[in-house]
Structure 1
């Protein structure tokens, strides 16, 4: 399902609603900002049985994606963001500057994949990253897994190591993987998700 990228509560409620309409158990997988979204949604839909974080943020109540990585190495993400305006909000939405996309987001994909990714980005509202998690995180009550790239230039790898420990995740390390590991290393990401689903069943 597509993440609306409009705000953490709105996005979390949307994903929870979609999950609740599934006939059966659900394993939620969240990449990047999708990590906070599944953290929210996992507690709002009763049929969610586990969470898989893929190169993601994992927030506790009161945290947001902007402050979660304070104190960790700067990846250069902030300087690479390009603001856009959109109707109904005084705050901007963001994409990555196209000339920074490969360096920050997708260092290990092919030239063609990087070019396509750079021009097909969906903008994310600033409020999505600045809004604190307003509910108890579902990783406190659900089993979790983490796919952790060691060369992520979007979310510091050091942060992800600590976050994976905090949520008590089963970790799959992807050596040399960038933030776009679902594109560059799809088999390893898929295997981690399949193994998580198998553990639940």
Structure 2
């Protein structure tokens, strides 16, 4: 058994999967199936995508409701959310970043996306105003459905990406501009999967963030939607992180 002892499901950490912008929890479906078959309890809550601080606070409340140890895995903007939500929470045993942002305190997703050339996301976005509770107006960002396949998930069949485009969750532009106030990767063991054909977050940026976080890193020739196009590889990577803490 490669020097490890299999633990009963009751002793395995719960894996909480956090989606990013322009996706929803169903983007983890293939990953969830594999992790459940491996004996893990899995949760994939809806990420509000309204603001980094509020999204992280929401995720932290979900984590507090889970009994026992937790492994957090975040895709894209979800990486920034797990980094902040895990701060000061002792039950978090590992952070897993899947083609994700790994911000330092004060850094925003937008800043990190623009740190290296290669992202073509800006020209693919549609901006839509929406009312805020205080009476002001915010801006939601969607990927133009006609550009969704090539921009977000070029290695996913178009029959699938047509559905993904129709059901995409928008993100408030202000959330991408909001700086992180915590960076739990300084104290929590971290893992990072770099998608080398990513058109949203430049691979160079993913490598920079992964190295800075001293994350256990692998690279995969995949689009930004790597959890959809390569669910088995993503699940195995998350499982490795989960099992490394036993």
Match of 1:66, SS?
Answer: helix
Q: 2:142 aligns with which of 95, 106, 112?
A: 95
Q: State the match for 1:172 in structure 2.
A: 218
Question: Structure 1 residue 63 and structure 2 residue 107: aligned?
Answer: yes
Q: 2:200 aligns with which of 150, 154, 175?
A: 154
**CA-to-partner distance for each residue in 1:17-52, whole Å, 9 max, x for gaps?**
101110000100000000100000011433111100
**CA-to-partner distance for each residue in 1:114-138, whole Å, 9 max, x for gaps?**
1111111011111110111123x00
Q: State the match for 1:197 in structure 2.
A: 242
Deviation of the 1:74 alpha carbon: 3.3
Contact 2:113 2:200 in 1 (8 A): no
Partners of 2:54 and 2:115 in 1: CA distance: 28
Q: State the match for 2:170 in structure 1.
A: 123
Q: 2:98 aligns with which of 54, 57, 68?
A: 54
Q: Which runs of 4+ in 1 moved over 2 A?
A: none
Partners of 1:27 and 1:186 in 2: CA distance: 17
**CA-to-partner distance for each residue in 1:88-130, whole Å, 9 max, x for gaps?**
1422011100011111100000111111111110111111101
Deviation of the 1:200 alpha carbon: 1.2
Structure 1: segments with no counterpart, 5+ residues: none
Count of residue correspondences: 199
Match of 2:218, SS?
Answer: strand
Partners of 2:219 and 2:211 in 1: CA distance: 13
Partners of 1:110 and 1:5 in 2: CA distance: 26
Contact 1:20 1:46 in 2 (8 A): no
**RMSD between aligned residues:** 1.1
Q: TM-score, normalised by structure 1?
A: 0.96
Match of 2:56, SS?
Answer: helix
